[in-house]
Structure 1
Amino acid sequence: MSMPRILGGTALGLVGILSLAGCSGQAAAEPEKTTPAASTVTVEDNNGTQEIATPPASVVATDNRTFQTLSDWGIELSAAAVSLMDEGNPYTKDDTIVDLGTHNEPDLEAVVAVQPDLIINGQRFAQYHDDFTSLVPDATVLELDPREGEALDAELIRQTTVLGEIFGKQDEAQKLVDDFEAAIERAQKAYDDAESVMAVTTSGGEIGYIAPTVGRTLGPVFDIIGLTPALEVPEATDDHQGDDISVEAIAESNPDWIVVMDRDAVFAAETPDYVQAAEVLENSEALASVTAVKDDQIVYMPTDTYLNEGIQTYTTFFNDFADALEAAAK
């Protein structure tokens, strides 16, 4: 009579053992949760070697040349100079980003609250480098502004490549560089150096002269493409409104091409008395006989150029210039 009980007990024991074994097998199959090891990337900026933890947890951006790139790459910003962005940039619609204001009246202290570990600083905010290092000493203040004496095209490539390394966007950065270099090559190939070029900016209905090499925004284009200046003015500056020049001086130099930055175009919606660059140049009686005007050989930089002088802006401009040069050659 005891045998069945023993066998029953043994059977129950086996069931229990098998059940425990089954539970043990299930537990072993569950993957262990591990915390990814922190990594860093070492890059060179305008101030030397910078070691940055990746991915950066809190990012601040004040350099206009980087806004479009960061936005296109989907980089989240904690704070930025939102007031200096073109309204077409998605960051201007993101209420979670603390606006540091403009370089004229910046709210630098606001950066403390977002506890940044990376500040991408430069251009109009370059003057506040030391303020940032004082306010948030644990943050890396990265500056990739084009350096004086260095070729602008190489500097824009450097800036893009370094940002790609920091944010793990190397492929995207390379695509921007490839497109940029291809646009330059197109313009170089299409341009005939027997044709003279003048660069100007317009603002408030007035024309400003942009000097080859040293002039703001379009000056370096002369060196990049190898343009022949229609006019060279002694002691020209890099003023953002250009240097004073008379329409008579432009007419006398008779450029075959005029390249233009309309400084006010990006503010047109909020400027009731805005005068478009095309109206200033193409409707001028004094310029009517100028080859560039007469033959419709005026090329305008993108509308948002004044607030966006990054690699994409120049890529668009060089392609537009190449389009015009190629069309004129047919």
Structure 2
Amino acid sequence: MKQRVILALTLALLFLTACSSDKNEEQTAPTEKEDTKVTIEGVNGEVTLDAPAKKIVALEWTYAENLLAVGVQPVGVADIEMYESYVNIEPQLDESVTDVGLRQEPSLEVIASLEPDLIIGVSFRHEGLLEELNSIAPTVVFNPYPDDESIDVYGEMETTFKEVAKAVGKESEAEVVLADLEQKYEEAKGEIDAADLESKDVLLTLAYSGAQAPEIRVFTPNSLASKILERIGLNNVHESEQFEIYGYSTYNVEGLVKYEEANYLYSVQDDDNIYENQLKDNQVWKNLDFVQENRLYDLGEDTWLYGGPLSAATLLDQIVEAMVHNE
């Protein structure tokens, strides 16, 4: 009889311990919803999603590119036709992606029809639309153009890329992309060094027809594109008289005279080639040293100088091709 009582008490104690353990686990174990929450941060603060986003609308091309870099096709992108003209990367947008209008004036109606989990914008275009965009889906905006030189624009590019990757649950993929880019820098620098160029001083430009005359964007040392040049040992000689928030000064052809000793790197659209048209017989242009000495390096029309890691890799390929292999 005594043994039966002891056995009963032992079983009861075990049962109470198990119940207590289960209760503690219930109290401490996170719910499935908490497990999958994702918090990303833009210039509009922290944005928390219940789970990694699967349906994303990118209102700026850089963020569409960032999504593609980690294997995610956005459901909507602004101004796809122009994107495909300028942004030269692989993979490309597939046919399922919907055009949501202009980058500056996206269609809220089209965006809403896509029922996105997340909208990604850029501050200088979309901060004024935040209330409307947030009424459709959680919205994060980034700012690739700092107000002064105290912020590293290259660091901002990498940080934003990682935030976008986090938003879609692709952080490990992002690390691989950045590691591959670092390897590409080493290879490109090696080829530039081995080419034994007469000068590594360069001017990086993008040209187009202005309202009155040809206009040439000359990229400043604080621009993302210039930081990429520096990583492979090239020296951007342009010195702006003032801080240029968007990373370039706009010149006419006369403004290039002070830089004629440098190598001239340029991008121009084939259907708006000012060098073959307006400047073909321009005496100032024809007499510049870099023209006379054929130190002109065409990077191609599909050179996107404002993008993410994949555009940086493309730019490296284009620079090496123009300055080394086409010498």
Superposition TM-score tier, normalisation by shorter sequence: 0.5 to 0.7
Matched residue, 1:24? none
Distance 1:284 1:185, change over 3 A: farther
Contact 1:203–1:241 (CA<8 Å) still a contact in 2? no
Selected match of 2:241 from 234, 237, 261: 234
Say yes or no: does 1:50 pair with 2:82: no
Q: Which residue of the partner structure matches residue 208 of structure 1?
A: 216
Change (3 A) 1:45 1:151: same
* 1:160 alignment partner AA: F
Give aligned pairs, total: 280
Question: What is the aligned partner in structure 2 of residue 151 from structure 1?
Answer: 152
> 1:236, CA displacement in angstroms?
6.8
Contact 2:305–2:315 (8 Å) recurs in 1? no
- Structure 1 unmatched ranges of 5 or more: 1-35, 269-273
The answer to whether the 8 A contact 2:39-2:49 is kept is yes
Q: Report deviation, 1:98.
A: 4.3
Counterpart Cα distance in 1 of 2:98 and 2:325? 46
For 2:302, give the aligned amino acid: D
Separation (CA, whole Å) in 2 of partners of 1:177 and 1:198? 26
Match in the other structure for 2:202: 197
Change (3 A) 1:280 1:309: farther
Alpha-carbon separation, structure 2, partners of 1:277 and 1:182? 35
1:63 aligns with 2:69: no
Aligned to 1:115: 115
Instruction: In structure 2, give the amino acid aligned to 1:184.
Output: Y
Q: CA separation in 1, counterparts of 2:95 and 2:139? A: 25
Q: TM-score, normalised by structure 1?
A: 0.66
Amino acid at match of 2:263: W
Query: Which letter maps to 1:46?
Result: V
Equivalent in the alignment of 1:253? 259
Superposition TM-score, scaled by structure 2 size:
0.67
Q: Given the superposition, is the C-alpha separation of residues 81 and 181 from structure 1 closer, same or farther in structure 2, using an over 3 Å criterion?
A: same
Name the counterpart of 1:93: 95
* 2:303 alignment counterpart: 305
Does residue 173 (structure 1) correspond to residue 209 (structure 2)? The answer is: no
Shift of 1:133: 3.4
Instruction: Report what 2:4 is aligned to.
Output: none
Higher relative contact order, structure no. (Cα contacts within 8 Å, ≥ 6 residues apart): 2
1:315 aligns with 2:317: no
> 1:40-80 deviations in whole A, cap 9, x for unaligned?
22333333333223332432111211223424545343433
Deviation, 1:143, is 2.4
- Which of 133, 136, 154 is the matching residue for 2:134? 136
Whichever of the two has the greater Rg, that structure is: 1
The answer to whether the Cα contact below 8 Å between 2:104 and 2:126 also exists between their aligned partners in 1 is no
Distance 1:163 1:297 in 2: 39
Change (3 A) 1:68 1:229: closer
Give the 3 Å change call, closer, same or farther, for CA 54–238 of structure 1 in structure 2. Answer: same
For the 8 Å contact 1:199–1:258, the answer to whether it is kept is yes
Native 8 Å contact 2:54 2:168 kept in 1: no
Once residues 277 and 311 of structure 1 are traced to their aligned partners in structure 2, the CA distance between those partners, rounded to angstroms, is 30
Letter in 1 for 2:77: A
Q: Distance in 2 between matches of 1:293 and 1:286?
A: 10
Tell me the SS of whatever aligns to 2:108: coil
Equivalent pair of 2:207/2:216 in contact (CA under 8 Å): yes
C-alpha separation in 1, matches of 2:202 and 2:153? 19
Tell me the equivalent position of 2:77: 80
User: Cα–Cα, structure 1 residues 90 and 306, in superposed 2: closer, same or farther, change >3 Å?
Assistant: closer
CA contact (8 A) 1:82 1:91 kept: no
Q: Is the 8 A contact 2:142 2:160 kept in 1?
A: yes
